[in-house]
Structure 1
Amino acid sequence: MGRPSNPDIHDSDGSSSSSHQSLKSTAKWAASLENLLEDPEGVKRFREFLKKEFSEENVLFWLACEDFKKMQDKKQMQEKAKEIYMTFLSSKASSQVNVEGQSRLNEKILEEPHPLMFQKLQDQIFNLMKYDSYSRFLKSDLFLKHKRTEEEEEDSSDAQTAAKRASRVYNT
């Protein structure tokens, strides 16, 4: 006898908990830079922000290194390594990132690429973003606007579920 036999009660419990299961994307982004970088939408917003700060090359370098680590084909790796070097690390790079130890990276290591050859530099850039631009991003208008939009969307969908629930109760 302990369990209520009214299916409506159970039903509304089920629906309300499931709607709160999925964490809002802004909440995920605010939880960690890793989460932000795993979400294509997050990356897009973060890039917009970094562009305004003139440091978009950091996240582009990080993403390029991620792609590079997944490569299997040696020829492709050589090309990608060279591209990363020329774009971000060489003294003539168009989008040079500011990392220690890049001077030790020379054209020679590009001939024998290995998946983790950029790892140390990638970690440096990750930390630079994490302790610098990421914290500013979370306070930026760009992020806060997105968060507000999400909250407004959630409010309106909550209002709908409440109305549906009410109509179910009164229709009996």
Structure 2
Amino acid sequence: MAFIENERPTEMSAEKKVKKRKNWNNKIQFLLNRNSESRLVLIRRKPYRPSADDVNQWAQSLDKLLSHKYGKTAFRIFLKSEFCEENIEFWTACEDFKLLKTRKERVAKAKKMYEEFIKSEAPKEINLDYQTRDDIIQSLDDPTTASFLAAQKKVYSLMENNAYPRFIHSDLYKELFAAASAKEKHIKS
């Protein structure tokens, strides 16, 4: 009887792990499919899953993680679970800002970013020192592609030194690696 009692928690634990893995995968797929272009691609073909090599590369640097669409999405989900997704959202907004061509686009985007991330009590306020915040405020009327660079570097450093190491050691990362490895073993069989 003691043997059966000891077995039951292990079975429940395995069951919970499967449910948790499905939950993470569903969240990642939802975020990947948010825009209509992604939905059209998924209708035409199976959704992309990272290889074990892809997932392994993410552990080498934050740059490699952020340069991979699925990795960036997984990291965003992880940050959301830690209540700090504003960092990746701000970093991404900065990357988009650098691509803007006209002054009119930059002014509109800069003001939107200020309202969303920079101003005191902003809905997704990021942690910035006074000088960096003030420099952004001073550039709002005539922003350049470098207007948010100092703030973006600070947020990147925060993610790289705090959230990124936690992500690499998280259950989510381990489950993604295990799922990718299992998929490759299944394909080779």
Partner of 1:24: 53
Tell me which amino acid in the other structure corresponds to 2:107. Answer: Q
Q: Is 1:134 the counterpart of 2:164 in the alignment?
A: yes
For structure 1, the 5+ residue unaligned runs are 1-21, 160-172
Matches within 5 A, 1:26-105: 26-100=55-129, 101-105=131-135
Name the counterpart of 1:5.
none
Q: How many angstroms apart in 1 are the aligned matches of 2:97 and 2:67?
A: 16
Alpha carbons 2:55, 2:176 under 8 Å: kept: yes
Give the 3-state SS of the residue equivalent to 1:43 in structure 2: helix
Q: TM-score, normalised by structure 1?
A: 0.76
Q: 1:37 to 1:99 in 2, by over 3 A?
A: same
Closer, same or farther: CA 133–67 of 1 in aligned 2, 3 Å = same
Q: CA RMSD in A?
A: 1.5
Distance 2:60 2:138 in 1: 40
Letter in 1 for 2:150: K
Distance in structure 2 (CA, Å) of the matches to 1:106 and 1:62? 15
Residues 30 and 36 in structure 1, CA contact (< 8 A), matched pair in contact too: yes
Q: Residue 115 of structure 1 aligns with which residue?
A: 145
Query: How far apart are 1:103 and its partner, in Å?
Result: 3.6
Distance 2:67 2:91 in 1: 12
Give the paired residue count.
138
One-letter amino acid of the structure 1 residue matched with residue 134 of structure 2? R
| Consecutive aligned runs of 4 or more in structure 1 exceeding 6 Å deviation | none
* % identity of equivalent residues: 35
Long gaps (5+) in structure 2: 1-50
Opposite residue 93 of structure 1, the aligned amino acid is: A
Q: Is the Cα–Cα contact under 8 Å of residues 100 and 106 in structure 2 kept in the other structure?
A: yes
